[in-house]
């Protein structure tokens, strides 16, 4: 199977308003796919449906051949889909290192009784987890900030921290909502480099993202789906879509 994600005839409405209508998308493995379009086009709603935050009214979502339509978010995450939100949700009171460690601790090890019954094994397991967390902080360039409270980081650094957590969890699919929004040009370049590096390493079978930054789309996306009024209005290679007159008229007002 060449597609990691398959979205078939998905529709979502709020009251009498359809915010997604007949969305049909195949997201290939080993590629970076972008969803772009004007505000209100349905991009984030589509990500909510894929990640389980919303249940579609019609249609189905398949991941690696499995129908995950309507699954709860935690079950979809366990299946291999990770998500970064636009507002960057980090544990601000925890240190940078602890933010990554929390995500790496296996669910069965989080119970107090497990640590009480197996203190030696727990200690060895935590040492391994800390080492793994430190590796990913170094990978994204936050090693020197590992003892700092996450809430003290800049917004761009918090985005790097959220990427470190996603990379550490070894998800095969990442849904990134505006990964370069609100950060400096230097940080945008850094984020683009990290995402492309992980995909090129073969660590991610697919990365899909919502983005308004045309430079980020141009440098990251292998394939673009342009959304308008809840539908996929245009799809194609990055250069094809960004150079399309229809896209320029609907999105950029040219």
Q: Per residue in 79-127, pLDDT tens?
A: 999 999 888 889 999 999 999 998 887 655 555 544 544 555 556 778 8
**Which of 20, 7, 39 is closest to 230 using CA atoms?**
20
Q: What is the pLDDT of residues 197-222, one digit of tens each?
A: 999 887 676 678 887 777 788 888 89
The pLDDT of residue 48 is above 50: yes
Instruction: Please enumerate in sequence order all residues whose Cβ is within 8 A of that of 67, keeping only pairs 6 or more positions apart, or say none.
Output: 60, 61
Q: What average pLDDT does the chain have?
A: 87
Work out the average pLDDT over 154-182: 92
Query: For position 251, what pLDDT does the model report?
Result: 67
- Mean pLDDT in residue range 53-77: 95
Question: What pLDDT is stored for residue 113 in this prediction?
Answer: 46
CATH number of 3-89+171-251: 3.40.50.300
Q: CA-to-CA distance for 233 and 238, rounded, in angstroms?
A: 15
Closest C-alpha among 134, 135, 141 to residue 95:
134
Q: Where in the chain is the domain with CATH 3.40.50.300?
A: 3-89+171-251
pTM listed for this prediction: 0.85
């Amino acid at each position: 199977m060449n597609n990691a994600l398959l979205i078939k005839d998905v529709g979502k409405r709020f009251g009498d308003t359809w915010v997604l209508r007949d969305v049909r998308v195949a997201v290939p493995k080993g590629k970076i796919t972008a969803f772009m379009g004007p505000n209100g086009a349905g991009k984030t709603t589509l990500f909510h449906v894929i990640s389980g935050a919303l249940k579609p009214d019609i249609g189905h979502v398949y991941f690696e051949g499995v129908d995950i339509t309507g699954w709860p978010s935690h079950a979809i995450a366990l299946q291999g889909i990770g998500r970064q939100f636009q507002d960057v949700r980090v544990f601000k009171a925890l240190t940078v290192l602890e933010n990554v460690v929390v995500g790496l601790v296996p669910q069965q090890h989080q119970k107090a009784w497990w640590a009480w019954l197996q203190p030696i094994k727990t200690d060895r397991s935590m040492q391994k987890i800390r080492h793994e967390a430190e590796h990913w902080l170094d990978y994204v360039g936050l090693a020197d900030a590992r003892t700092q409270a996450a809430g003290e980081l800049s917004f761009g650094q918090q985005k790097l921290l959220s990427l470190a957590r996603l990379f550490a969890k070894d998800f095969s699919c990442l849904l990134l909502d505006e990964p370069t929004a609100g950060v400096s040009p230097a940080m945008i370049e850094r984020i683009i480099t990290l995402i492309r590096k992980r995909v090129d390493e073969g660590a991610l079978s697919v990365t899909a993202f919502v983005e308004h930054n045309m430079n980020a789309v141009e440098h990251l996306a292998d394939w673009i789906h342009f959304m308008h009024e809840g539908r996929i209005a245009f799809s194609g290679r990055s250069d094809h879509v960004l150079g399309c007159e229809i896209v320029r008229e609907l999105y950029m007002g040219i």
